[in-house]
Structure 1
Amino acid sequence: MSVFLAAAVQMRSGTSPDRNAVDFERLVREAASKGARYIQTPEMTGGLIRNKDARAALFTSVERDVIAKTASRLAAELGIFVHVGSTAILREDGKLANRALLHGPDGALITTYDKIHMFDVDLDNGESWRESSAYEPGTRAVVADLPFAKLGFAICYDLRFPQLFRAEALAGAQVLTVPAAFTRQTGEAHWHTLLRARAIENGAFVIASAQGGVHEDGRETYGHSLIIDPWGRTLAEADSNEPSTIVAEIDTAQVAAARAKIPNLKNARAFEVDEVAAIELKGAAS
């Protein structure tokens, strides 16, 4: 069992990866000054860019990416784990991935995770998104065994697919991560509820760094970065959509305690679903 300080960094990424890297560095240093050993940033730390041509021109391979380079340098200099919640990375096949990057205290890239579930939705007031038109979805869940905890990966819309988090919890994940760029509309409705549910149903900590505010490309995100314990209690929350850092103590003994009290990971049973045909009621009003 381990105890450590974790930080969630809230950003308002614009359309310039270089400018975003400056903000990223400032906020990571702020979080590290508070004692955080693990620091997570939001989805699309490197830039929120609607224009397809602009994305193609600005995003590059992980070896050349300014956010990846900055994360590696900061991790090594500060002796911490830096989890870039995600940034757009050019794959070898020429497609873009919405990719998380985890760097260790030596600056080396430990692992990556590509967002599996694409945000293809039609919301109220004409708000519509088609993430699959810009990014290639990932195909694998990832759990990283760090010195102080086992970390499960997810990104934003993945939050609505509990089977991903259950698979990671069954693989030993004690901390579930959900860096995001939730829209204001969906965030106001579902952000807190879904994050608390993932923590409670898996007996795990949840750390969720968010984008917040009105961005250069015109979108509006919800903010309210959160750190939640395995009993569903909020340990830290950004109280607005402004760029900021929050820190909380993570004690993995609480994971074991929650799972011992309610051992639903062990108690789950396989079952089948019976399809029942519609029953016509005689004499019912048409």
Structure 2
Amino acid sequence: MKIFDTHSHYNLAPFSPGDWEKHWQKAQEHGVVASVVIGTTFAESSLATQIAATDPRLGAAIGIHPAEYNQTAVGALQRNTGLASTALNDATEDALEDIQTDMEELQLIFAKEVVAIGETGLDYYHFQNSSDMEKEFIKTVQRAALHAHLRLADGKVPVILHVRDQADEAYEDVLHILKEENYTGPFILHCVSGPLEYIREALAMGAYVSVAGNVTYKSADHLRSIVASVPANRLLVETDAPFLPPVPYRGKDCEPWMISKTMEYLVQELKIDSDQVLANSYRLFPTLQSPE
């Protein structure tokens, strides 16, 4: 069974520095024929392009994870104090300048190895230690960063979206931003979650849906219902390694080869066609070398 891992972090510990090639080799021994290496910071994005340059079966995604902008937002607020309205305007300006700098840096490494922008998106999940005002400002900054990433992609490559929330707000906001940007290019709902209505609307807008090892968890009934709702030509599979290992490896680092266990589960338990998933991946990432 041939597998295309659409989302892996060979550029993170425990794979980098030093061991990523060993893990890539082991993944190939378990059927992996291609992989996209994902950036979540500028440094990781740069390393992703370096890794991808070593093998035509590897591609890089460059971007800044939405949670990285939490500190950007808080820092901008802390640098600007005084009258509430003036301070907030100044903080917004500061944060937008930081985002613009990020995009300029990413543009500098937007080379032939880059097959996607991401991961970007909205992450409203962990705000427990923030005041209400900070929470709303963080959301504002994350939304601005998503707009910027969509413009960076400019329809040239797919966008990989990380969307997470304890409620529905982030899911609704992502769809709203895609519409505001008149974004018509392909995009991936990485490690998919969210209400079924959101999934249906995203699919109507051109989304691909990617599932990771957590689809094998006993508690993942809703995720399995999402998989059942996705047209066969829009489903992808990923490891998100070193995160979200499949059963029976839960609680350990997810290694890239473990995607074989996730794919086996999808085929055996959810009756997914592995060849169709592979074809979907190459349709999205046609520049990556396919197996002979």
> What TM-score do the two structures reach when normalised by structure 2?
0.44
> By percentage of residues, which structure has more helix?
2
Which protein has the larger Cα radius of gyration, Structure 1 or Structure 2? 1
> By percentage of residues, which structure has more strand?
1
> What TM-score do the two structures reach when normalised by structure 1?
0.44
